[in-house]
């Protein structure tokens, strides 16, 4: 038995020596460089490749099947002079005997100077799409389908389909040095590049963690951007299960370019990645993201990869300064009244989405001193369809709007301000100077106000409710806003709230579907204290009372000037329980009457204010001019009627007032405050003309009207004298005829 074993051992040793000798002979006596033309032809026939081998081919046979290629390039047969892949050197070796067991045991794979040039032409066809397809046989020739290798089943198209267990990989490492990838699209002009690519790995085997490190410089021309990146992690895969994991991922780098306006952004992304082809899911767990000072945590899950992918997950962004963050990205915010806004922003939300939508569900948002909850969504990414449903505790909107002084500076031109100033200087309160001239300078800016093109593309559904809202210094409680816009038609479906224990509501539309935007607005104000409205604007109110106001207005254009010039509609107002503050007009009026009567008032003054018994009126707007035909105001001892025009285009007025002095009409009137019967019912005429800013300083007694009153009074006086002289000496008919001669 020992001799048989010895003989078998010698036999195997002899066979091994023969194989080694054969390998030595083949590698030294057979030179693959002599067969470059045959290799090129095989590449053309089997893979539709134009293979160029400028360098030598180095190889070994046993126990390692080794190969080295130098200065090689690959192109499509259709464009042989435009290679899409080039390399300086490719070196690899495989153990021969494990191949018989369908195992691939390789030493280090080394790639030097790889360059991929990928291009899509104007028809959208890529220069790599024909690669791997066998060349078509010549017309008239028959070519039998290739016989499937042993262990593989033929497919329906004659191609071999692998069966059985996949090859087992066992590679010591992969090293890629100085690689470059360029991609260009002739249709869009887009160009992408990845250069100075360095890849190193540890041992590559299934079921174990494979250390991975990759660095590259990325670039794009639309927009012009550059980024330096580094990726590290541990790759783990199981091809039989179709399961791939990248654990302890860390992607870091910095970017700069045109959108960043010279700024540099640093970023880091970490987590655990999983791709499960059997379950058709992809996950990013333990997500950690930082971009400059922004810090975020979360997780992402995508399911149904083979059908309609669905995204779910969660996102949490720690408190950060949004203003500084945007400035670090080269983005300048619009000027705001408060430069400290957006300094505290925090967000927590659940994510839900698809290939063309993204929603932040169960959103919790903190914005400075405000907190919101609800939903934000892009229902259609391509159409930028925005859906907003938010509920908040409070919001000081004035902090986020441009400063009011800046807005007012745009409201009037320099020339108009000079005109008003000169008019104010000329006007006096004595009542003897001439009426101011009517203003003529336009009071409004003609700068565009609305981003019409963006509004035409807007698809918006917004619902917002706030416990407290401060807007234009007005404290609004239980505010609600609902807006819908699509196809260039924006509808303010509801804007309502409580204001100083009163209420208001508005509705309106903005139509930008045509060349000239069209606007309409309906307002209703109920029981809102007038003095509170005025005082909120920093002015001392001369009046108090609860205001009812309704208006229905329409206008067109895209500037303040356009909106005023084309303003049309109606409005009406009533002031309930109105009071003229810090001015007892009744007392002052009685003092004047008592002085004329040469008597002294005997009743103690009733107060320092003057209550209104009535104050109401209506307005009709016609191309920026508001006509008020029915102003009615009544206080004890005095009533006023008014009619005239308010020219909003130049902020001027041309108004007539009729003042009727009634005297003391109380149950126990002061005798000194009794109006001479001759003056009862007389309507004293007052004209008001000039800039609205002048107020009462633009009003004078109407001299023509006074002349008519004087004539009337003179006629009545003469009638009285005739009555005294004639007495009963003439008939009543003649007496009435004589009186009529002096009536106006």
SS3 sequence of 553-621: EEEECCCHHHHHHCCEEEEEEEEEEEEECCCCHHHHHHHHHHHHHCCCCCCCCCCCCEECCEEEEEEEE
Q: What is the pTM of this model?
A: 0.74
pLDDT at 100: 63
**For 337-474, where are the alpha helices, taking DSSP H only?**
404-411, 414-426, 452-456
% of residues, the chain, pLDDT over 70: 72
| Alpha-carbon span 387 to 377, nearest angstrom | 5
Confidence of residue 698 (pLDDT cuts 50, 70, 90): confident
Q: What is the mean pLDDT of residues 289-314?
A: 95
Residue pair 535/490 in contact (Cβ under 8 Å)? The answer is: no
Residue pair 551/567 in contact (Cβ under 8 Å)? The answer is: no
Q: What is the mean pLDDT of residues 437-460?
A: 85
3-state SS of the chain: helix, strand, coil percent to 5?
Answer: 20, 50, 30
**How would you write 137-173 as a 3-class SS string?**
CCCCCCCCCCCCCCCEEECCCCCEEECCCCCEEEECC
Greater model confidence, 425 or 455: 455
Greater model confidence, 740 or 43: 43
Q: Where are the domains of the chain?
A: 23-133+163-205, 710-744
Greater model confidence, 90 or 625: 625
Q: For 36-66, b where at least 16 C-beta lie within 10 A, e where not — what string?
A: eeeeeeebbeebbbbbbbeeebebbbbbbbb
pLDDT at 691: 86
pLDDT at 149: 46
Q: What is the mean pLDDT of residues 395-410?
A: 71
Q: What is the mean pLDDT of residues 362-366?
A: 97
**For residue 507, what are the contacts with CB-CB under 8 A and spacing of at least 6?**
492, 493, 494, 495, 521, 522
13 has a pLDDT exceeding 70:
no
Q: Which region among 352-361, 431-440, 482-491, 496-505 has the lowest average model confidence (pLDDT)?
A: 431-440
473 has a pLDDT exceeding 80:
yes
pLDDT at 412: 47
Q: What is the mean pLDDT of residues 592-620?
A: 73
Q: pLDDT tens across 387-398, in order? A: 999 999 999 999
| Alpha-carbon span 265 to 268, nearest angstrom | 10
> Cβ atoms within 10 A of the Cβ of 188, count?
9
Q: Which residue has the tokens 């952004």?
A: 265
pLDDT at 393: 95
Q: pLDDT tens across 211-245, in order? A: 999 999 999 999 999 999 999 999 999 988 899 99
Q: Read out DSSP for 205-248?
A: ETTS-EEEEEEEEEEEETTEEEEEEEEEEEEEEETTTTEEEEEE
Q: What is the mean pLDDT of residues 146-167?
A: 48
Q: pLDDT tens across 536-555, in order? A: 877 777 788 999 999 999 99
pLDDT at 60: 64
pLDDT at 328: 92
Confidence of residue 413 (pLDDT cuts 50, 70, 90): very low
Greater model confidence, 394 or 738: 394
Q: What is the mean pLDDT of residues 661-690?
A: 68
Q: Which region among 301-315, 395-409, 508-522, 686-700 has the lowest average model confidence (pLDDT)?
A: 395-409
pLDDT at 540: 79
439 has a pLDDT exceeding 80:
no
CA-CA distances (angstroms) from residue 743 to 158, 362, 379, 676, 733? Answer: 121, 81, 79, 19, 16
pLDDT at 190: 92
**For residue 148, what are the contacts with CB-CB under 8 A and spacing of at least 6?**
154, 160, 161
pLDDT at 274: 96
Q: What is the mean pLDDT of residues 713-725?
A: 51
Confidence of residue 282 (pLDDT cuts 50, 70, 90): very high
pLDDT at 38: 73
- Please provide the average confidence, as pLDDT, over all residues in the chain: 79
pLDDT at 729: 47
> Cβ atoms within 10 A of the Cβ of 419, count?
18
Confidence of residue 20 (pLDDT cuts 50, 70, 90): very low
161 has a pLDDT exceeding 60:
no
Q: What H or E segment, with its residue span, contains residue 734? A: helix 732-740
pLDDT at 40: 77
Pseudo-torsion of CA 615, 589, 673, 719, nearest 10°? -90
Q: What is the mean pLDDT of residues 675-688?
A: 70
| Alpha-carbon span 8 to 353, nearest angstrom | 69
Residue pair 227/215 in contact (Cβ under 8 Å)? The answer is: no
51 has a pLDDT exceeding 50:
yes
410 has a pLDDT exceeding 60:
no
> Cβ atoms within 10 A of the Cβ of 609, count?
14
Q: Which region among 74-78, 365-369, 625-629, 693-697 has the lowest average model confidence (pLDDT)?
A: 693-697
Confidence of residue 359 (pLDDT cuts 50, 70, 90): very high
């Amino acid at each position: 038995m020992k001799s048989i074993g010895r003989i078998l051992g010698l036999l195997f040793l002899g066979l091994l020596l023969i194989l080694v000798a054969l390998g030595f002979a083949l590698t030294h006596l057979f030179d693959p460089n002599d067969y470059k033309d045959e290799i090129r032809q095989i590449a053309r026939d089997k893979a539709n490749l134009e293979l160029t081998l400028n360098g030598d081919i180095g190889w070994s046979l046993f126990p390692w099947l080794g190969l080295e290629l130098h200065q090689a390039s690959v192109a499509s047969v259709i464009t042989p002079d435009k290679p899409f892949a080039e390399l300086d050197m490719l070196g690899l070796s495989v153990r021969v005997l494990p191949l018989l067991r369908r195992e691939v045991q390789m030493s280090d794979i080394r790639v030097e100077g790889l360059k991929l040039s990928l291009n899509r032409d104007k028809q959208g066809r890529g220069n790599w799409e024909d690669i791997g397809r066998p060349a078509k046989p010549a017309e008239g020739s028959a070519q039998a389908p290739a016989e499937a290798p042993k262990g593989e089943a033929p497919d329906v198209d004659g191609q071999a389909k692998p069966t059985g267990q996949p090859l087992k990989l066992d590679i010591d490492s992969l090293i890629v040095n100085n690689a470059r990838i360029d991609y260009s699209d002739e249709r869009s002009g887009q160009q992408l590049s990845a250069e100075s690519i360095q890849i190193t790995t540890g041992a590559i085997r299934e079921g174990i963690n494979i250390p991975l490190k990759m660095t590259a410089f990325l670039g794009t021309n639309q927009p012009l951007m550059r980024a330096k990146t580094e990726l590290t992690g541990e790759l783990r895969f199981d091809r039989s299960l179709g399961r791939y994991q990248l654990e302890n991922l860390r992607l870091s780098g910095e970017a700069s370019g045109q959108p960043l306006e010279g700024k540099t952004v640093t970023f880091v992304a970490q987590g655990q990645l999983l791709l499960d082809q059997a379950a058709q899911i992809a996950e990013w767990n333990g997500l950690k993201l930082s971009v400059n000072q922004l810090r975020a945590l979360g997780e992402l899950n995508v399911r149904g990869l083979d059908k309609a992918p669905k995204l779910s997950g969660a996102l949490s962004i720690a408190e950060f300064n949004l203003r500084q963050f945007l400035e670090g990205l080269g983005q300048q915010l619009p000027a705001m009244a408060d430069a400290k806004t957006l300094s505290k922003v925090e967000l927590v939300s659940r994510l839900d989405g698809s290939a063309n939508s993204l929603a932040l569900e169960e959103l919790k948002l903190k914005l400075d001193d405000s907190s919101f909850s609800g939903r934000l969504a892009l229902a259609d990414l391509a159409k930028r369809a925005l859906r907003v449903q938010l509920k908040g505790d409070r919001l000081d909107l004035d902090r986020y709007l441009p400063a009011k002084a800046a807005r007012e500076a745009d409201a009037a031109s320099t020339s108009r301000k000079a005109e008003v100033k000169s008019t104010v200087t000329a006007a006096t309160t004595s009542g003897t100077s001439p009426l101011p001239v009517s203003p003529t300078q336009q009071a409004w800016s003609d700068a565009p106000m609305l981003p019409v093109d963006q509004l035409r593309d807007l698809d918006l559904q917004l619902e917002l409710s706030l416990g407290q809202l401060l807007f234009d210094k007005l404290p609004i409680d239980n505010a609600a806003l609902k807006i819908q816009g699509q196809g260039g038609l924006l509808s303010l479906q509801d804007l309502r709230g409580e204001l100083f224990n009163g209420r208001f509501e508005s509705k309106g539309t903005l139509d930008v579907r045509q060349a000239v935007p069209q606007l309409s607005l309906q307002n209703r104000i109920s029981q809102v204290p007038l003095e509170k409205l005025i005082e909120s604007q920093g002015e001392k109110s001369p009046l108090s009372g609860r205001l009812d106001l309704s208006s229905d207005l329409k206008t067109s254009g895209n500037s303040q000037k356009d909106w005023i010039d084309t303003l049309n509609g109606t409005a009406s107002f009533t002031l309930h329980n109105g009071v003229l503050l810090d001015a007892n007009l009744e007392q002052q009026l009685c003092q004047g009457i008592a002085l004329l009567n040469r008597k002294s008032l005997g009743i103690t003054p009733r107060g320092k204010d003057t209550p209104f018994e009535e104050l109401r009126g209506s307005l009709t707007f016609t191309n920026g001019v508001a006509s008020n035909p029915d102003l009615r105001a009544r206080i004890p001892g005095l009533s006023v009627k008014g009619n005239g025009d308010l020219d909003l285009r130049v902020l001027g007025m041309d108004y007539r007032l009729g003042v009727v002095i009634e005297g003391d009409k109380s149950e126990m009137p002061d005798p000194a405050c009794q109006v001479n019967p001759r003056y009862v019912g007389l309507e004293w005429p007052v004209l008001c003309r000039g800039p609205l800013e002048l107020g009462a300083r633009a009003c004078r007694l109407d001299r023509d009207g006074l002349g008519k009153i004087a004539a009337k009074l003179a006629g009545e006086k003469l009638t009285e004298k005739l009555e005294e002289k004639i007495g009963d000496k003439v008939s009543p008919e003649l007496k009435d005829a004589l009186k009529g001669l002096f009536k106006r």
